[in-house]
Structure 1
Amino acid sequence: MTTFPTAHTTTVSNPRLRLLNKLKAGEFPLATFMAIPSVRHAQIVSLTGLDAVIVDCEHGNIGDDAMHNSVAAIAAQGVSPIIRVRGTTGDILKRALDTGAHGVMIPQINTAAEAEQVVRYSKFPPQGLRGQGSAFPSIAHGLTTPEYMLSANQTLLTIVQIETKAGVENVEEICAVDGVDLVFIGPNDLAQSLLGYVPARGDEPEFVAAIDKIAKAAKAAGKWSGRLVNNGALANKAKGTFDFVAITGDTKAISLWYQQEIEVVRSS
């Protein structure tokens, strides 16, 4: 069986791929989720010092136009745009990657077969079935289209989310899929699936065991792992266990800041 180079093994060097480069260097990169559709908003979030912005096309108010515009704005600031898509089908993945995103995040992967489908539609032939026909993808990578075609399969990050009981049960097989680069925990959906409520307190034995199992499975398979956290203090606690974290999202960050500052005024 042919073994293709991946984001873990690639020798391709592109300084624009900030998230990939920091993962390979073991530098614990930071991201956040963006749900609000605006070029200016994407620029502001990108200028905070983050290494990646995850454009949330699963739960966010992000349509095709906003997806394209956000990727361009984020990449222009030297930050890696990652798109969280809403499914595993070829049309969804192709449309996301044709923006020039530096990678895709796919929610609720429950089996190795689902992970294999994601890889299949995220890679150009001969590794996969992704089609080519757009001039846009190469722009955010600072490449010509032929250069992009030669490097995309081994530099684009394929991130799968484990956030269900079934995903936890099958996590070793999912992590073993060639072309899966990073396994990311969605703690809220995982808590709902395992415990029947959100948010988790964080000390529930079943929840803690699931988090531990996912992190260990990724490490054993030689893959990166990451998770969502609510703040910087929890991000620090994740160091050493995870390679990457996303610190909350734009809507929650804005809401919490105003709530806290308003409480300062009204409680004095």
Structure 2
Amino acid sequence: MTGSESSPSFRLAYVPGVTPTKWVRIWNERLPDIPLTLVPVPADEAFGLLRGRGADAGFVRLPVDRTDLSAIPLYTETTVVVIPKDHVAVAVEEVSVEDLADEIVFHPLDDTLDWEHPPGLPAIERPATTADAVELVAAGVGLLVVPQSLARLHHRRDLTYRPLSGVPESRIALSWPQDGTTDLVEQFIGIVRGRTVNSSRGPQAPAPAVDQPKGKKRPAPGGAPRKPAAGKAGGKAGGRTGGKAPRGGSGAGKSTKPVKRGKPRRP
């Protein structure tokens, strides 16, 4: 390697609300020699960062311009309404758009939801950021509708949130420049998609031959029949072939050895 060549590395961008910890941990386990650098970026600047090669890939919010960027949708977030803890909506498990009809709902300039008609009453002025809108909610001025991950990111003890039905949802995707699909990008795509370390996108090699376990050989069809085991042939016809003689009737089982007699007594 020459002095002008740099060692390989991977830069991963992510927008607010995304937690890439799990994927970074897997990367470090599989590619410990290639450092991964996290690049936090505002949602509205993420695509410019990728196009300018400020990151190799990034977690962004859909939609993505597919003209020059590739994207893999990952998951959809629940939309929630951020409210003070003493708000009447705390008593319910889910809030509907109709419940917000008479409420002031902030629509910050960095809003990540694709609204056609934002719910509630509009504020006199739009907050610059989601963080600014959260401060206004804590002050009791109005409410805020955001993806659940942003509600968690800007959590405060005096605020809570409830799921909101009938509104757009935010979708998270992995995106990268189409002409920047490097081997490291492919590696990270595999991690995000849950591929194991041994999996491959290419054709699988044929499995090696496996020796069959040795066992008893079966006779070929039509072959000679098996021979009976020794000692069992003619078992019923010839009786027992050894052991003690069986007990029987007269003379059966008696010894044939002659009996010795003593001398006769004298008169």
**Is this a same-fold pair by TM over 0.5?**
no
Q: Which has the higher strand share?
A: 2
| Coarse TM-score class (shorter-chain normalised) | under 0.3
Give the number of the structure with larger relative contact order, counting CA–CA contacts within 8 Å between residues 6 or more apart. Answer: 2
TM-score, reference length from structure 2: 0.21
* Higher Rg: 2
TM-score, reference length from structure 1: 0.20
Q: Which has the higher helix share?
A: 1
